[in-house]
Structure 1
Amino acid sequence: MVALSCMVAPMAVALLAIWTHIGVSASPPGPVIKCTSGNSNCTVTNGYGSFPDWTTCQVASVAYPANESELLVVVSNASMNKQKMKAVSVYSHSIPKLSCPGGPSGAGLAISTMRLNHVVSVDSTLMRMTVESGITLRALIDAAAQIDLAVPPSPYWLGVTLGGLISTGSHGSSLFGKGSAVHEYVVGMRLVVPSNESINGYYARIVDLGEDDPDLLAAKVSLGVLGVISQVTLQLQPMFKRSITNRVLADTAFESTIATFGATTEFGDLTWYPSQARVVYRDDVRVPISTVGNGENDFTGFRSQLSLLIVATRGIEEVFEATQHSYGKCVQSRVQVTTLLETGMGLKNSPRSILEFTGYPVIGNHSKMQAAGSCLNGGDDGLFTACGWDPRIQGLFFQQMTFSIPLTNVTNFFTDVKELRDMYPTALCGTELYSGFLMRFVRNSTAYLGKVDDSLDIDITYYRSRTPATPRLNEDVLEEIEQMALFKYNGLPHWGKNRNIGFLGARAKYGSKGDMFVAAMARYDPDGLFSSEWTDGILGLRGATVVIESKGCALDGLCVCSLDEHCAPDEGYYCQPGVVYTEARVCRRINVS
């Protein structure tokens, strides 16, 4: 099996290259809202097909408004009937249950923003563009590029929508200027919010927030609890080019270089492969538009892939999990990472030539380099190919922990993680199959639920079983890192990622700004029609909690274990203290003779 795993990554890269050259595109992702009767009796999920708590979100109906006037009617009707509702984006890539309405299951309303996807207006003089909230990042970037304007630093995945990404505080990587969070460049916003009284015949109203309106600080990162974002006005900038070079170095004392790297490299990020003891520094800088180069970022993980190959790769990982074979994952990850590095991680110097990647630097328009997602392109090929995580093919299935640690705490955090890594040298190999520890820079924010400090955002993606309450290989090591980041180093959770425990005590970390946000909620939606048990839990409202204590709850991140039954004692997993961060409580496998 180890020998087979060594073949998977190079085979995948080679086949992906062939697919790219012959122009084959993946079947686009399927709908996240499915109904049994027209637009009634529906279920809502996310782009991965499952929420962290494994529940099914049922709603009474779904609405597809095509403009602000139709959206006003939809919100008015639900408001008049005191019906719970939630906005749902076209691909719904938030892992937590932000898209599920509150209240009794099956009684809520899903409001899809997939048709609210147009450019409303452009002010070329001020370099501002107003668009509807359901526009995808791909469409937004392309629309701006057509008039030689650049969208600010953004998330790396083109399938997110503008409304969704700003509502969750999503970002790219930069400490320059206003930083990498897209919401920092929002200079105007229109929302449709509920009303207890009839206003011109509607039980809803349109709120138009200008850049000097203090409520814009609540609306910029709103978690969808104020109402539905109708339109967003962004401050853009003249188009420029970027030059990218990936440097691979040993991880010796890399933690002491992080802050300096972020301060000197405008769009730089880092990826740490802990078991391989190497770090990839992405030297990503702005260059003049006249610089020669027509490069493109077509990140390999976001390209179309053969469905059979995706399923086979997942199958190998499941065997390693079942046989407790950490070393097998290490071999698999080393081959995969080495192959990806040798092929430029999907960067293309000449996108239309046979040799797409010919070496560094790769230079291209900002619009072609800031994000990727070519598996969204093309028509349906019957799932012969797909995005790797498409739930219809039972391929990749993973969980994420994503947190932002103040730059002042980063060196100590990684010193602790290295100590843990050295004690369990093969325990983190599984994360390297999913891009290791991806590190991006984010500036402090004026938004109430934006970042409190200049921070390093750390994404860790890892295997998730398809069976609830099932232990993972090296469960305890990742749990200790998670609790270390959140509780010892006061990490802020990414609102659109993380398991339930990632949000424990989250509101308190925002201090008075958290209270100011809750005050805005009370003004905009006093009946909590856009709130749910989930958002109440992460904001500490109405007695709700994110913790769900039950047998095996710690295995799915629904609780921090305090009892052995929160783990899997029948399978040898017991609740134990952390070994570096001893205050942690983790599910550790203990061999009992």
Structure 2
Amino acid sequence: MVLTVLLLVLLAGLAGSSPPPEPVVCARGTADCTVSNAFGSFLDRTVCRAAHATFPRTEKELVAAVAAASAAKRKVKVATKHSHSFPKLACPGGSDATIISTERLNRVVSVDVAKGLMTVESGMVLRDLIQAAAAKGLALPHSPYWSGLTIGGLLATGAHGSSLWGKGGAVHEYVVGMRIVTPAPASQGFAVVRELCADHPDLNAAKVSLGVLGVVSQVTLALQPMFKRSVTFVTRDDSDMAEKAARWGDLHEFGDMAWLPQLRKVIYREDDRVAIKTVGDGLNDHLGFRSNPTAPLISGRVTMELLEKNINAIARCKAANATVSLFETVAYGFTNNGSMFTGYPVVGFQHQIQASGACLGSQEDALLTSCAWDPRIRGTFFYTNGYSIALSRVPAFIADMQQLRDRSPLSFCGIDASVGMLLRYVKASSAYLGKPEDSIDFDISYYRSYSKGEPNPHYDVLDELQQMALHKYSAIPHWGKNRNFAFEGTMAKHPKADKFLEVKQRYDPDGIFSSEWSDQVLGINGSPAIFEKHCAIEGMCICSDDSHCAPEEGYYCLPGKVYTDARVCSFQPAF
């Protein structure tokens, strides 16, 4: 009943919503600070502290902030307005460190309509950027689906939409200029502004950088004249999913797929560019990104916790099926005229179709409403795994996934509950830390417990799935998603990693913008895996010992069901 109420609330939507909390909070002015992400918890559940925070409004103030930290040899990390990365990208890793927030660097610098160029400050939120471009008759060709990211943040992690056409769906492929502030010797005032034009070789390092080169001040993007898109969602059975996945990206410019494994269905997105005169004023107002009354969010979470702890997953699967049915009935939040859905196709302008995030910008209402994942309420709390597999290997990977599903179908209901595993197409990138081959990015969001080390009877297949992707199919993890173990050995999968590290050494030889976490992920020092009691339950490690699971509750480190090289925490009932 609670889940039904929650679904009806999602369907209705609300115009207002308490804005998300600030990721940087200081106890004394701009001193004694903590930094978190939009979900209120990094993957290791630790509190990230910094001695100071600064909020520059101009490039001059930004240079001064970097110079002060560089002169004192203090660690620095950049925080964005909403901070949506799951890993500890924004954590400087030292109590005497400095946080530089780009929240107030949020303006349009210039627009050249004739050349299709737009320069913005790095803290500008995607939602504002695409609206500002549209006001000039221009469009950002591709973007992530969530509009709450900043341009600097989404570039740092290589965020993308879905396309193999043209330059592909990654935003960084449309960057033609950048101004970045980096540390410098005393003779240069401890900080310099480096201006990188389109043909500067260092731009391939700076446009996907994990924030370890410096602070991006401004970004220049190559835009296109405004255009329209036509979107239709079609649900079919998944019997030929492997075959279709290999060619769907060639058939539709913005096409993607969402796999519903337990239901044995695939939601195919037919999404293409159409003539600007095509009739339609459609809007993408995704259900999951709308504001919600907090009371049913909290009640829904309580129900979800009970369902997740139940080894018998039938009720859990029924709840997931209800969610899928609702989303399909209301076209996933798409409307034909901004308020009503009357049928496919939905035709609309690019800036109204490409991304959504209705719960972002509203007046404070004392948390009567919020984004579903707002950490100030005990609502939605989840993991997100994202990894890209080369197109040539995708059919075999899908066949293995389906075989695993056939072995444990009810364990896959958690994926259905998030309206499927999203498959997006990503083209080979010019960025050193971008995708080296044309690929499909597999995104999975699923339940996360608020209690550290709490086992889940359905996690073993999800962990096996990710280990299969990473190790058997050489998947590359998304820089802004995933749990710690996914990043082990990642740099070896990037053929131009050495070029990136060479630029990093030139730009920041003292590692001012590096942290323990970034050094581990970049293969400079140490490992991102953390081996301790219950570490595999938390995704901090791949288990090699029963203590990494929860043997006291019946969870032991065992081989995978299909990918037997995997090591996962599986429940073994006592006899």
TM-score scaled by length of structure 2: 0.99
Is 2:318 aligned against 1:331?
A: yes
Shift of 1:107: 1.0
SS in 2 for 1:313: helix
Structure 1 CA distance for aligned equivalents of residues 526 and 261 of structure 2: 37
The equivalent residue for 1:226 is 213
- Report the alpha carbon displacement of residue 16 of structure 1 after superposing the two structures with TM: 3.5
- Structure 1: 5+ residue runs without aligned partners? none
- Cα distance, 1:321 vs structure 2: 2.2
Look up the equivalent residue of 2:424 and give its one-letter code: R
Do the aligned partners of 1:464 and 1:472 also contact (CA within 8 Å) in 2? Answer: no
Q: Which runs of 5+ in 2 are unaligned?
A: none
Among 1, 4, 8, which residue is 2:3 paired with? 8
Partner in structure 1 of residue 82 of structure 2: 91
Q: Deviations over 1:192-224 (max 9, x none)?
A: 00012232xx21000000000000000010000
Cα distance, 1:55 vs structure 2: 1.0
Alpha-carbon contact 2:289-2:359 (below 8 Å) kept: yes
Corresponding position of 1:521: 504
Letter in 2 for 1:380: E
Partner of 1:156: 145
- What whole-Å deviation, never above 9, does each CA across 1:508-549 have from its counterpart, x for those lacking one? 0012x01110111100000000000010000111x2210110
Secondary structure of the residue aligned to 1:257 is helix
Alignment of structure 1 residues 200-349 onto 2, 5 Å: 202-349=189-336
Helix, strand or coil: the match of 2:262? helix
CA distance in structure 1 between the aligned counterparts of 2:307 and 2:13, rounded to whole angstroms: 29
Identity value in percent: 49
Q: Does 1:44 align with 2:35?
A: yes
Aligned partners of 1:19 and 1:139: how far apart in 2? 21
Given that 2:13 and 2:290 are in contact with CA atoms closer than 8 Å, whether structure 1 keeps it comes out as no
Counterpart amino acid of residue 117 in structure 1? N
* Paired letter, 2:563: Y
Structure 1 consecutive aligned stretches of length 4 or more whose deviation exceeds 2 Å: 11-20, 321-325
Partner of 1:66 in structure 2?
57
Describe how 1:488-503 pairs up with structure 2 within 5 A. Answer: 488-503=472-487
Q: How do residues 555-570 of structure 1 correspond to structure 2 at under 5 angstroms?
A: 555-570=537-552
Counterpart residue type for residue 240 of structure 2: A
Counterparts of 1:196 and 1:495, CA distance in 2: 30
2:186 alignment partner, SS class: strand
* Residue identity opposite 2:458 in structure 1: N
Pick one of 61, 71, 77 that aligns with 1:80: 71
1:53 counterpart = 2:35? no
Is the Cα contact below 8 Å between 1:435 and 1:461 reproduced in 2? no
Superposed counterparts of 1:392-431, under 5 Å:
392-431=376-415
Alignment of 1:440-519 (within 5 A): 440-511=424-495, 513-519=496-502
In structure 1, the residue matched to 2:521 is: 538
Pairwise CA distance, 1:312: 1.3
Q: Residue 131 of structure 1: CA displacement? A: 0.4
Which of these residues, 350, 355, 358, is aligned with residue 371 of structure 1? 355
- C-alpha distance in structure 1 between counterparts of 2:312 and 2:415, whole Å: 14
Structure 2 counterpart of 1:207, which letter?
Answer: R
For the 8 Å contact 2:464–2:563, the answer to whether it is kept is: yes
What letter is aligned with 1:429? C
Q: 1:21-32, aligned counterparts within 5 Å?
A: 24-32=15-23
Determine the structure 1 residue equivalent to 2:554.
Answer: 572
Match of 1:109 among 92, 98, 111: 98
From 550, 553, 571, give the equivalent of 2:532.
Answer: 550
CA shift, 1:339, in A, is 1.0
The aligned residue for residue 187 of structure 1 is 176
Change beyond 3 A, Cα 1:452–1:19: closer
Query: For residues 10 and 473 of structure 2, what CA distance do their matches in structure 1 show?
Result: 40
CA contact (8 A) 1:431 1:462 kept: yes
CA contact (8 A) 1:60 1:109 kept: yes
Give the total of aligned pairs: 575
Matched residue type, 2:66: V
Tell me whether 1:145 sits opposite 2:134 in the alignment. yes
Query: How many Å apart are 1:329 and its aligned residue?
Result: 1.3
Deviation at 1:319, TM superposition (A): 0.5
The structural deviation recorded for 1:26 is 1.1
**1:293-334: per-residue Cα shift (whole Å, max 9, x none)?**
000000000001111111111111100123323111100011
Taking only aligned residues, the RMSD between alpha carbons, in angstroms, comes to 1.0
Q: Displacement, 1:19?
A: 4.0
Q: Equivalents in 2 of 1:365, 1:402: separation in Å? A: 28
The Cα of 1:18 is off from its aligned counterpart by 3.6
Aligned counterparts of 1:19 and 1:299: Cα–Cα separation in 2? 10
